[in-house]
């Protein structure tokens, strides 16, 4: 089913349980939440690229375990908090609240950007290379990724964070969340990054 949104065509489909992916989605900020209650499952008629939109904000929540580790002792101790490959650039993959809080504490006043995805989200996979490029271009910021459907812990964390659609990007500074938006628009991601990075960025 296609729906017009801000002059763009939007197709909606259910992907992972509890997550909605939308093509050519507009973003939502942490100041507003999109209620998912009462939404029925819909099938898209289009095989076009899907972009997820959903809701935004929340404090840190319950931890998750992706590979059996309950948490990393520090960012340097990379047992489970680690880039999976060179393709991940400077993006560290975390899998629990404990790991996230450790990284956040170690980051100090650096900007921390979190990419919240799922393993089945096409739009998440499409924007991730751009996220990796940003991590390489701005090594003094901290770039993180979590797959919200990778384990029972990750699903619990997503519920506590209030994530209902992906990709969802969250920005933290000095231990506090300063921004959240959803959608796979690269321009939106760069704009929000520039707002909180504190200096000019490369286009």
Residues known to be catalytic = 121, 124
Residue that is written with structure tokens 């809701």 in the block? 55
Q: What share of the chain is helix, strand, coil (3-state, %, to 5)?
A: 25, 20, 55
The dihedral formed by the CA atoms of 7, 4, 19 and 84, expressed in degrees to the nearest 10: -30
Sign for the CA dihedral angle at 37, 40, 43, 48 comes to: negative
Is residue 47 exposed (0-12), middle (13-18) or buried (19+ Cβ within 10 Å)? exposed
End-to-end, the C-alpha distance of the chain in Å comes to 35
Ramachandran area for residue 23 (φ above 0: left; ψ -120 to 50: alpha; else beta):
beta
């Amino acid at each position: 089913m296609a729906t017009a949104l801000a002059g763009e065509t939007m197709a909606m489909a259910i992907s992972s349980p509890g997550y909605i992916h939308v093509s050519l989605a507009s973003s939502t900020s942490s100041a507003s939440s999109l209620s998912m209650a009462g939404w029925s499952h819909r099938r898209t008629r289009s095989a076009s690229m899907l972009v997820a939109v959903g809701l935004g904000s929340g404090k840190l929540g319950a931890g998750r375990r992706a590979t059996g580790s309950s948490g990393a002792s520090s960012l340097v101790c990379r047992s489970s908090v680690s880039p999976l490959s060179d393709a991940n650039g400077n993006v560290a993959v975390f899998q629990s609240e404990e790991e996230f809080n450790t990284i956040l504490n170690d980051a100090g006043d650096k900007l921390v950007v979190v990419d919240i995805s799922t393993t089945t989200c096409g739009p998440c996979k499409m924007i991730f290379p751009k996220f990796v490029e940003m991590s390489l271009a701005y090594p003094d910021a901290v770039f993180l990724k979590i797959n919200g459907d990778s384990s029972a812990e990750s699903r619990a964390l997503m519920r506590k964070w209030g994530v209902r659609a992906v990709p969802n990007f969250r920005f933290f500074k000095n231990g506090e969340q300063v921004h959240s938006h959803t959608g796979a628009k690269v321009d939106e991601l760069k704009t929000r990054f520039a707002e909180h990075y504190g200096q000019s960025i490369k286009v």
